[in-house]
């Protein structure tokens, strides 16, 4: 059960922090487009993707060890997800914003496209730190 609950806790904490940063006015890149439903939007500070997958990786390492098949699998999946969040999704988010800007400037009748924003390296690093800290706190609190 800890393999599900710890990542869920890390995700919830990261998503909650997005609200705090939004209220402080530091997360405008993500929330300015759709302030009505920020809970599940992608992108922004911190990365909930990073918090979730890093917490899962840490939980597997702490409880099962790093010399296991489970750790190897979750580590590779984590690296792929973090790379995708920073490189592929971030780039496609910028492209989507640019396309929507062109649609607006040209007064096109085409509908605006839905844009999923990725993360900057700092957003991913902060999310990864949250995931690691949540895992360590739960591990030592339940030991």
Q: What is the pLDDT of residues 70-109, one digit of tens each?
A: 999 999 999 999 998 888 777 777 788 888 888 888 888 8
Per residue in 17-33, is it b (16+ CB within 10 Å) or e — as a string? bbeebbeeeebeebbee
Residue 78, H or E segment:
helix 69-83
Residue 29 has pLDDT above 70, yes or no: no
Measured CA to CA, the distance from residue 81 to residue 34 in angstroms comes to 25
Q: What is the pLDDT of residues 51-70, one digit of tens each?
A: 999 999 999 999 999 999 99
**pTM, to two decimals:** 0.77
Residue 30 has pLDDT above 60, yes or no: no
């Amino acid at each position: 059960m800890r393999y599900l609950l710890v990542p869920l806790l890390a995700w919830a904490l990261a998503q909650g922090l997005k609200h705090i940063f939004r209220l402080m006015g530091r997360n405008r890149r993500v929330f300015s487009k759709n302030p009505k439903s920020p809970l599940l939007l992608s992108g922004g500070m911190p990365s909930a993707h990073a918090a979730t997958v890093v917490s899962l990786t840490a939980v597997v390492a702490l409880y099962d060890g790093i010399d296991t098949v489970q750790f190897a699998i979750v580590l590779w999946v984590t690296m792929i997800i973090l790379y995708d969040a920073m490189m592929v999704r971030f780039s496609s988010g910028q492209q989507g914003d640019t396309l929507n800007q062109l649609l607006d400037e040209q007064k096109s009748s085409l509908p605006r496209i839905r844009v999923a924003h990725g993360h900057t390296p700092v957003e991913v690093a902060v999310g990864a730190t949250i995931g690691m800290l949540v895992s360590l706190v739960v591990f030592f609190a339940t030991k």
